[in-house]
Amino acid sequence: MTDLRTGAGGATALKYTTPNDDSNVIGFIGTGAIARNMARAAAAVRPNFTGVAYALDVDGAKSFATEMSAELGVKFSVATSSEELCGQSNVIFTQTIGSDHVLKHEYLRKGTTIIASGSDQPTKQELPNDVLAAADKYVADLTNQTSRVGGKC
């Protein structure tokens, strides 16, 4: 249920924080079970997106891209680095174990929406502080939790 709920939360964020057009290139950093639910949920609210996948496990990223492309009818490619993924994406889902930063501020295109889900413990922080500090808008689903864990601006 947690994976499904996280996917639904990601889709809700996508629906209300990004343009409803066909220009969305959605990057997925991390390609496990939650990423699959995020991709499925994204397709429900933005069916014409293009996907880019990146994971430390290259074979896992390739499998994710192949499986999600076939299942969703959406074109997916595999990036060789988070920097490459960020350079192509205007929306980025992060769903990793969250123990290390998964991208850098200088990798991001202006106006990129990041939907992060891998920072739920004090030892986890997917996004560096400068990314959070530079945000035009920050929306949290669990304000009490995010004020205590996942990094401080």
pLDDT digits (tens, 9 = 90+) for 38-91: 999 999 999 989 999 999 999 999 999 999 999 999 999 999 999 999 999 999
The total number of structural domains that make up the chain: 1
Is residue 151 in some structural domain?
no
User: CA–CA separation, 17 vs 137, rounded Å?
Assistant: 10
Is residue 149 in some structural domain?
no
What's 53's domain CATH number? 3.40.50.720
The pLDDT of residue 16: 83
Contact status, residue 33 vs residue 60, Cβ threshold 8 Å: no
Is residue 153 in some structural domain?
no
Which region, left, alpha or beta, applies to residue 111 given φ > 0 means left and ψ of -120 to 50 means alpha? left
Q: If you average pLDDT over every residue of the chain, what do you get?
A: 81
Do β-strands 25-29 and 76-78 pair in parallel, antiparallel, or remain unpaired?
unpaired
The conformation of residue 20, written as its DSSP 8-state character, comes to: S
- Highest-scoring range by mean pLDDT, 10-24, 53-67, 84-98, 134-148: 53-67
Is residue 93 in some structural domain?
yes
Contact status, residue 30 vs residue 102, Cβ threshold 8 Å: yes
Which pTM value belongs to this model?
A: 0.84
- Domain span including residue 104: 2-143
